[in-house]
């Protein structure tokens, strides 16, 4: 399948067959959780609770949820500055995530990392990288560990369309391919790198063709369809666990908000956003849940209500968190004792 738009594209699979009823509820909950989380981060920015910058992923939730749900607890993940999605999908503590973004000592990294650097080693959330492409080599390294340890772990890394033009992408794809490592490369093709449309920086729209430069299987999937994403990822993960090496998954999706806080998105052609809003991953999934009778309107509303409350409560608790104490941070810098 290398270099071709895969069989996964366009194939409509039933939710029940891929997720089951319980899985479907979980997926819906996770989608909502990420959406609510990101909305709350945005509001917190406006309210002055967050300073600096932040990169949100509304519209791309199905990629995070669909890919993460294909993983085992002992798998490894690396992601980007736009990485709240995978973290929340993986189960990162919401208060800890908010508190980190608010710069509080109760943050997952004690406020030292920030919005661009949410991590949690317990969950295999190895790192969020603010330098484009930098997370890929690290995921490859986790893939080496996984392969060496020999218990079927995999490593997964997320990155954008724009990131496929940086050297680290190329070197990582090649290394994973030549060593047949269990690494899943998840490309969130949201059509833009910052304010640049993909065709202004890349001589093609379908990035999956790049996989063939490494003799690596590549698949394209509708990134706004959580079921399709999960389905495609499961196949890739199965291959990786079986020792058959890496896969490149291109998820076609769209960033509903600006690149970062200061971006109003003026570069978008008229109508583009509207068209994608109609394909909002949460709305799509919600409609299918109803259509397939897996959840009724009351059930959906209850879930929505619960998630919203959970997110609001976590943010409220996080906002109460104390500021980190101003003290020497040598111990946060080095693990070993220093002679100095």
Partner 1 sequence: MSTITYREAIVRAQREALAADPRVILMGEDIGAAGGPFKTTEGLFEEFGPLRVRDTPISENAFVGAAMGMALTGYRPVIELMFADFMGVCFDQIVNSIAKHRFMCGGKVAVPVTIRAMGGGGVRFGAQHSQTGETWVYQFPGLKVFCPASPADAYLMLRQAIDDPDPVIVLEHKAMMAMKGEIQTDAGRWPAQRPQVVRPGRDVTLVASLAMVRRAMAAADALAAQGIQAEVIDLRVLRPLVAEPIIDSVTRTGALVVVEENHESGGWGAEIVARALTAAFDYIDKPPVRVTLPDWPMPYSPALEDAAVPSVQKIVDAVLAQH
Ligand X SMILES: Cc1ncc(C[n+]2csc(CCOP(=O)(O)OP(=O)(O)O)c2C)c(N)n1
Contact residues toward ligand X (CB under 6 A) are 82, 130-132, 159-163, 188, 190, 192-194, 255, 259
104 binds, among partner 1, ligand X, Mg ion, none (CB under 5 to 8 A by kind): partner 1
Q: Are 257 and 58 spatial neighbours (Cβ–Cβ below 8 Å)?
A: yes
Q: Which is nearer to partner 1, 1 or 209 (CB)?
A: 209
Out of 27, 70, 94, 136, the residue judged to bind partner 1 by CB under 8 A? 136
Between residue 83 and residue 122, which ones bind partner 1 under the rule CB under 8 A? 103-105, 107-117, 119, 121
Out of 215, 277, 283, 313, the residue judged to bind its own copies by CB under 8 A? 215
| SS3 per-residue string spanning 204-215 | CCCHHHHHHHHC
Stretch that binds Mg ion, among 2-10, 153-161, 268-276, 301-309 (CB under 5 A): 153-161
Name the minimum Å distance from CB 118 to its own copies: 26
Q: Are 169 and 211 spatial neighbours (Cβ–Cβ below 8 Å)?
A: no
Between residue 230 and residue 259, which ones bind partner 1 under the rule CB under 8 A? none
Tell me how long the chain is. 340
Helix (H, G, I), strand (E, B) or coil at 155: strand
Q: Which is nearer to ligand X, 86 or 103 (CB)?
A: 86
Between residue 159 and residue 198, which ones bind its own copies under the rule CB under 8 A? 165-171, 174, 177-178
CA dihedral 173, 175, 181, 185 (to 10 degrees): -20
CA dihedral 138, 142, 148, 150 (to 10 degrees): -160
Separation of alpha carbons 254 and 276, rounded Å = 7
Q: Is 190 in the site for Mg ion (CB under 5 A)?
A: yes
Site string for partner 1, 190-229 (x = CB under 8 A): ---xxxx---xxx---------------------------
Q: Which residue is nearest to ligand X (CB)?
A: 160
Q: Which is nearer to its own copies, 107 or 133 (CB)?
A: 133
- Closest C-alpha to 107, from 97, 94, 121, 119: 97
Q: Which residues of 167-197 are buried (b: 16+ CB within 10 A; e: fewer)?
A: ebbbebbebbbeeebbbbbbbbbbbbbeeeb
190 binds, among partner 1, its own copies, ligand X, none (CB under 5 to 8 A by kind): ligand X
Q: Is 271 in the site for its own copies (CB under 8 A)?
A: no
Q: Are 42 and 97 spatial neighbours (Cβ–Cβ below 8 Å)?
A: no
Q: Is 157 in the site for Mg ion (CB under 5 A)?
A: no
User: Which stretches of 292-338 are DSSP H helices?
Assistant: 297-320, 330-333
């Amino acid at each position: 399948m290398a270099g071709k738009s895969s069989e996964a594209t366009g194939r409509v699979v039933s939710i029940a067959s891929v997720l089951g009823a319980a899985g479907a509820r979980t997926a819906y909950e996770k989608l909502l959780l990420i959406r609510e989380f990101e909305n709350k981060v945005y509001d917190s920015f406006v309210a002055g609770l967050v300073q600096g910058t932040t990169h949100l992923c509304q519209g791309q939730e199905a990629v995070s949820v669909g890919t993460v749900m294909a993983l085992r607890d002992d798998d490894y993940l690396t992601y980007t500055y736009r990485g709240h999605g995978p973290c929340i999908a993986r189960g990162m503590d919401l208060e800890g995530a908010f508190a980190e973004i608010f710069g509080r000592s109760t943050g997952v990294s004690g406020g030292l990392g920030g919005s661009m650097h949410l991590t949690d080693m317990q969950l295999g959330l190895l790192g969020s990288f603010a330098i484009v492409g930098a997370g890929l080599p690290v995921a490859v390294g986790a893939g080496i560990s996984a392969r060496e340890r020999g218990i079927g772990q995999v490593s997964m890394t997320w990155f954008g369309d724009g990131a496929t033009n940086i050297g680290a992408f190329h070197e990582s794809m090649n290394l994973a391919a030549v060593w047949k490592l269990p690494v899943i490369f998840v490309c969130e093709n949201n059509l833009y790198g910052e304010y640049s449309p993909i065709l202004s920086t890349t001589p093609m729209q379908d990035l999956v063709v790049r996989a063939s430069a490494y003799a690596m299987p590549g698949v394209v999937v509708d990134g706004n369809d959580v079921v399709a994403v999960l389905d495609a990822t499961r196949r890739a993960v199965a291959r990786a666990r079986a020792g058959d090496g890496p896969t490149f998954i291109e998820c076609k999706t769209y960033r509903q908000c600006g690149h970062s806080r200061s971006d109003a998105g003026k570069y978008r052609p008229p109508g583009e956003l509207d068209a994608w809003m109609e394909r909002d991953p949460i709305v799509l999934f919600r409609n299918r849940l109803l259509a397939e009778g897996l959840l009724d309107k009351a059930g959906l509303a209850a879930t929505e209500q619960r998630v919203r409350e959970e997110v609001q409560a976590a943010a409220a608790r996080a906002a109460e968190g104390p500021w980190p104490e101003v003290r020497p941070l040598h111990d946060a810098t080095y693990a070993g004792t220093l002679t100095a």
